[in-house]
Structure 1
Amino acid sequence: MSTRTVALLGAALLLAGCGGGGQIGDTGGSGDGKRMVLIPGAAAEPFYISMECGFREAAGAKGYAVDVQAPAKFDSTLQTPIVTGVLANKPGAVLIAPTDDKAMAGPMKQLKDAGIKVVEVDTKLEDTSVAVSTVSSDNEQGGRLAAQTLAQLVGDKSGSVLVLNTKAGTSTTDARAKGFEDEVVKHPNLRYVGQQYTDNEPDQAASKLTATLAANADLIGVFATNLNTGEGASTGLRNAGRTGSVNLVGFDASPKQVEDLRAGVVQALIAQDPATIGRTGAEQAIAALEGGDVKRDIETNLVAITQADLQAKEKYFYKQKC
């Protein structure tokens, strides 16, 4: 049989296979129901790497092939083409951390309309009709915990406090800011001067903190709502020579953040459990594909870490590789 004949037969078989049959995990077309894709919010961030580790572990244990595709930055214009590319290959399920609670609704709805099971991990859309499940930290609780921890660190001292947020429309960090705002008013010695957005860029966090220090000589505390703002805030305090005199509470426990906590640049971290988010997200996707019980909303734990309990809470430190 000639090479050309073999190629033609192969093409015919491929076309015939596109009709698809109904099997457990089948996506209703040419897709691969035994494959799942994770689309994190950004590449190379320890939070999402830790999430990936949990995802790979849970999916692999059930015989699912996995793929991870992440935008270079936390940006909906970078995440949308990744979703479009994944849609063309039609996996059984997609776990995604949407980078905007409105802008990602259209692309994610296309996944759903194609028969792909969508599970939100970490962040979520305003539209609750797209995902079969959402797995996330209780972010408002995390913000309240940050305010409570900051109040304990400050004690009876009076002064101004600032929130450094990422991008408006990021469901998780907006919820953290809200939780902080709701709690900080319960502490009359702390004067809340509002939040500033950093576009999720450490250099902007550093510069905005520097400007706030210049305008508020009594600044006594800062809550940074995610890893990048926390690392940028640390840089801003170093540059201003104010490390230690301004209490910095960060969110997330990246290696750099933990190092800064040990060094006294950061006074506390609110740590999530990203590996459990990834693991649980994969489990929910598998349940959706195989006809199991799917829980619509799942919240995972957060903890406050200070220098006093660093060793006791090492399990919450984020990873740089699986």
Structure 2
Amino acid sequence: MNRRNLLGIVSLGSTVALVAAGCSSTKPTDSNAGGGGQVVVSAPPSTSATADVPLPDKAKKPYKITFIQGVEGDPFYITMQCGIQAEAQKLGVTVNTQGPQKFDPALQKPIFDSAVNAKPDAILIAPTDVKAMQAPLAAAAAAGTKIVLVDTTTQDPSYAVSAIASDNIGGGKAAFDAIKQLAPQGGKVLAISVDPGVSTTDARVKGFSDAAAADSKYKYVGVQYSHNDPATAAQLVTAALQKDPDIVGVFAANIFSAQGSATGIQQAGKKGKVNVVGFDAGPDQVKALQNGTVQAIVAQQPGYIGTVGLGEAVAALDGGQITKSVQTGFSIVTAQNMNGDQKDALYKSSC
């Protein structure tokens, strides 16, 4: 198997620059344990690094693979799909993409069950719940289907041939560091997330809350859950600002939480007074940066996650070398750098 270097935007350090910055010459730290190992890439802000992940250049057979999104229509998963499709064309495999209308295991499981019954060679999936999707995924893997986890995971992912995800705890900490730079005087901070039990957003909130707890100038007032609904997020933020009008920053753990948080701040008449740091870089978040409602967003690299995920699936099917765990990074996007060195970090609305 040939080794192909894949470019990844890497994890941020503890200090986040909220203006455009040049590339750092600091060398990142990589670790690769070879077959069944892990690749972790980390580096300071505004730095790119190459993760040496062994992937095939061409599949041995024209495999049929299914990609099951966390939710359809989400720019994060659309961008991931674009990466998968481009890689599928290179590898000579076919990918069928499906996804639930909401990020909900009750809606995702029937789609997964149907996909398993169609007997694809492999399934790439972003599980919508760490508990609810554990048993069906493990059972499918035990029956012979190659499972690759992309973005989210379950309680015990040992059944998966590979798992590719961002450093979400680091992302949450970076979001807090961004708020610190935006509101250096300190104050109360709030987190808005999706639902408890989602591995990625739980990790982001933990990274944010731990960082806030470690700084005596800030008081963490907790996390509230929007059920991935922007309207609910807006209501929660508006109510929170009525209760705690001295909130200086809101961390929104995903796209729809950020969208709703921005709306809630506007409805409360607090635009320009409450800083919002969102997660993900969809079109709505870009607009929020442009109009100043959101001050910074933490962008993952979903296209890269999809590329690596499909490559790992094909490697497993070919009997080649796989990397059990790949941790990708993120970057901070602001109105100042979104048209410059972070332009490629923005998500797509179509392929």
TM-score (norm 2): 0.81
Alignment correspondent of 2:288: 260
Superposition RMSD on alpha carbons, in Å?
1.3
> Does the CA contact (< 8 Å) of 1:25 and 1:92 recur in 2?
no
Alignment correspondent of 1:20: none
Amino acid at match of 1:233: S
> Does the CA contact (< 8 Å) of 2:187 and 2:246 recur in 1?
yes
Alignment of 1:38-53 (within 5 A): 38-53=67-82
Percent identity of equivalent pairs: 42
Alignment correspondent of 1:233: 261
Deviation at residue 139 of structure 1 after TM alignment: 0.3
Q: Out of 252, 263, 267, which is 1:224 matched to?
A: 252
Q: Name the SS for the 1:307 alignment partner.
A: coil
Count, aligned residues: 292
> Does the CA contact (< 8 Å) of 1:151 and 1:187 recur in 2?
no
2:307 is aligned with 1:279: yes
Amino acid at match of 1:59: A
When structure 1 is superposed on structure 2, of 265-274 and 194-203 the one drifting more is 194-203
Regions of 4+ moved over 4 Å: none
2:65 is aligned with 1:36: yes
Alignment correspondent of 1:215: 243
Deviation at residue 110 of structure 1 after TM alignment: 2.7
Alignment correspondent of 1:63: 92
Alignment of 1:120-159 (within 5 A): 120-155=149-184, 157-159=185-187
Deviation at residue 25 of structure 1 after TM alignment: 7.1
CA distance in 1, matches of 2:161, 2:335: 39
Higher relative contact order (CA 8 A, sep 6+): 2
Alignment correspondent of 2:118: 89
Q: Out of 216, 228, 237, which is 1:200 matched to?
A: 228
2:345 is aligned with 1:316: yes
Q: Out of 140, 155, 160, which is 1:111 matched to?
A: 140
Amino acid at match of 2:264: G
CA distance in 2, matches of 1:149, 1:294: 36
Deviation at residue 265 of structure 1 after TM alignment: 0.3
Deviation at residue 158 of structure 1 after TM alignment: 3.0
Task: For residues 185-238 of structure 1, give each alpha carbon's deviation from its aligned partner in whole angstroms, at most 9, with x where no partner exists.
Answer: 233221110111111111111111111101101111000000010001011011
CA distance in 2, matches of 1:168, 1:158: 27
Amino acid at match of 2:180: A
> Does the CA contact (< 8 Å) of 2:190 and 2:221 recur in 1?
yes
TM-score (norm 1): 0.88
2:80 is aligned with 1:54: no
CA distance in 2, matches of 1:216, 1:141: 27
> Does the CA contact (< 8 Å) of 1:43 and 1:73 recur in 2?
yes
Q: Out of 71, 74, 99, which is 2:128 matched to?
A: 99
Q: For structure 2, which runs of at least 5 residues remain unmatched after alignment?
A: 1-58
Structure with larger Rg: 1
Amino acid at match of 1:206: A
Task: For residues 25-71 of structure 1, give each alpha carbon's deviation from its aligned partner in whole angstroms, at most 9, with x where no partner exists.
Answer: 78xxxxxx711110010011100000000011112211101100100
CA distance in 1, matches of 2:68, 2:60: 20
CA distance in 2, matches of 1:25, 1:83: 26
CA distance in 2, matches of 1:108, 1:145: 32
Q: Name the SS for the 2:121 alignment partner.
A: strand
Alignment correspondent of 1:79: 108
Alignment correspondent of 2:210: 182
Deviation at residue 306 of structure 1 after TM alignment: 1.8
More helix per residue: 1 or 2? 1
CA distance in 2, matches of 1:190, 1:307: 25
